């Protein structure tokens, strides 16, 4: 029996990572590639669960490591510190991503697609169209959900005309009202009450490294920043434990209001002054309010990265 090719997104998976992986598996199988399998590298969030429940799909299998030589496809990431344990010795067949390229090296050539779009699924959608594959309703909703999530219903500054066009076409295939469906999906992801503080700061956390310094930028979406900040003391305890356990110089936790497009950050670590330089704001009680900031990729990360 032929070995499975594993398709997965990054650790602390978001809706783009999960939905893009499942959509690729479905489309591969419909077009004769029976040996691909979508998997995940962490627990899914409530937003993603909403999508899977809507479609009646099961959560992909969780994997924690891959063996040497395992064939894999990386979606929505390329940095090894964001990927599965053992990725350095895996056989990476291809990458489809929309992030910066860093800490990435392979021993063999591969197919690599990286475009500055708002979402990985937008890139996948374009490739599928070029191949002439037929897109069914399930795949269309999966990819549309990923685009809605990553672009905050096309409100994020990461949104491109390519994302808008892809979402418009996918909505027609899926026969859904994008605004109605999208708002319900995003709201589902803002229910944070069931999560512990440790879970909350790791729901969507990106581990990064520069000049030997490790830092994390984590983010959660909400419709009430104030409700999340009621847990600030316990959140800071959890963040400080992460800093100690992982040897981090900085941990930035962004609380993003998806209705008003603002973010309040909590910043801790020996390099917390980096945040003050990045945004020209003094941290008060380890916090800063960033008006109009919603995107980690385009607004939080570049500003912080320049000042690390």
Q: Are residues 226 and 179 in the same domain?
A: no
Q: Are residues 205 and 76 in the same domain?
A: no
Instruction: Give residue-wise pLDDT tens across range 212-260.
Output: 899 999 999 999 999 999 999 999 999 999 999 999 999 999 999 998 9
Q: Are residues 209 and 135 in the same domain?
A: no
Q: Are residues 140 and 220 in the same domain?
A: no
Would residue 174 count as lying in a domain? yes
Would residue 298 count as lying in a domain? yes
Q: Are residues 44 and 102 in the same domain?
A: yes
Q: Are residues 175 and 251 in the same domain?
A: no
Q: Are residues 40 and 136 in the same domain?
A: yes
Mean pLDDT value of segment 88-102: 95
243: three-class secondary structure by DSSP = helix
Mean pLDDT value of segment 78-83: 95
CATH number at residue 142: 3.90.1640.10
pLDDT value at residue 2: 59
Would residue 192 count as lying in a domain? no
Average pLDDT over all residues of the chain: 94
Buried/exposed 165-174: b ≥16 CB within 10 Å, e otherwise: ebbebbbebb
- Mutual orientation of helices 137-151 and 46-55 as an angle, nearest 10°? 160
For residue 34, pLDDT beyond 90:
no
Q: What percent of the chain has pLDDT over 90?
A: 86
For residue 14, pLDDT beyond 80:
yes
Would residue 32 count as lying in a domain? yes
Across the beta sheet with 262-268, the strand order is 205-210, 213-222, 250-257, 262-268, 287-291
Are 308 and 210 spatial neighbours (Cβ–Cβ below 8 Å)? yes
CATH number at residue 236: 3.10.310.20
Instruction: Give residue-wise pLDDT tens across range 279-297.
Output: 999 999 999 999 999 999 8
Q: Are residues 210 and 148 in the same domain?
A: no
Q: Are residues 49 and 144 in the same domain?
A: yes
Residue that is last in its domain, among 150, 165, 187: 187
pLDDT value at residue 178: 95
Q: Are residues 171 and 54 in the same domain?
A: yes
Instruction: Give residue-wise pLDDT tens across range 164-208.
Output: 999 999 999 999 999 999 999 999 999 998 899 999 999 889 888
Would residue 166 count as lying in a domain? yes
Would residue 252 count as lying in a domain? yes
pLDDT value at residue 1: 43
Q: Are residues 125 and 204 in the same domain?
A: no
Would residue 278 count as lying in a domain? yes
User: Which residue, 95, 111, 158, 299, is CA-closest to 103?
Assistant: 95
pLDDT value at residue 259: 87
Cα–Cα distance list, 287 to 223, 254, 305 (Å)? 18, 10, 18
Q: Are residues 162 and 44 in the same domain?
A: yes
When divided into structural domains, the chain yields a total of: 2
- Give the domain range for residue 206: 197-307
Residue that is last in its domain, among 140, 155, 187: 187
In a 10 Å sphere around its CB, with 0-12 CB exposed, 13-18 middle and 19+ buried, how is residue 230 labelled? exposed
Residue that is last in its domain, among 187, 218, 253: 187
Would residue 116 count as lying in a domain? yes
For residue 210, pLDDT beyond 50:
yes
């Amino acid at each position: 029996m032929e070995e499975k090719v594993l398709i997965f997104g990054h650790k602390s998976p978001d809706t783009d990572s999960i939905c893009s992986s499942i959509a690729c598996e479905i489309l591969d199988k419909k077009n004769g590639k029976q040996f691909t399998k979508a998997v995940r590298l962490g627990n899914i969030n409530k937003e993603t669960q909403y999508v899977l429940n809507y479609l009646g799909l099961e959560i992909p299998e969780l994997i924690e490591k891959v063996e040497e030589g395992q064939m894999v496809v990386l979606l929505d990431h390329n940095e090894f510190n964001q990927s599965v344990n053992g990725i350095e010795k895996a056989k990476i067949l291809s990458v489809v991503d929309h992030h910066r390229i860093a800490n990435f090296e392979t021993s063999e050539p591969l197919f690599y697609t990286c475009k500055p779009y708002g979402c990985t699924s937008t890139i996948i959608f374009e490739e599928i169209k070029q191949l002439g594959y037929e897109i069914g309703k399930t795949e269309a909703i999966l990819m549309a959900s990923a685009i809605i999530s990553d672009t905050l219903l096309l409100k994020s500054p990461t949104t491109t005309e390519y994302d808008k066009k892809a979402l418009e076409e996918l909505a027609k295939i899926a026969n859904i009202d994008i605004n109605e469906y999208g708002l319900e999906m995003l709201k589902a992801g803002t229910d944070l009450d069931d999560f512990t503080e440790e879970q909350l700061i790791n729901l969507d956390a990106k581990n990064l490294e520069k000049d030997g310094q490790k830092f994390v930028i984590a983010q959660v979406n909400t419709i009430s920043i104030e409700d999340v900040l009621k847990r600030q003391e316990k959140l800071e305890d959890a963040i400080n434990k992460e800093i100690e356990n992982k040897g981090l110089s900085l941990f930035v936790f962004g609380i993003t209001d998806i209705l008003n497009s603002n973010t309040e950050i909590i910043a801790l670590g020996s390099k917390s002054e980096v945040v003050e330089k990045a945004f020209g704001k003094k941290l008060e009680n380890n916090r800063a309010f960033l008006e109009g900031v919603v995107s980690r990729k385009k607004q939080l990360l570049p500003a912080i990265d320049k000042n690390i």
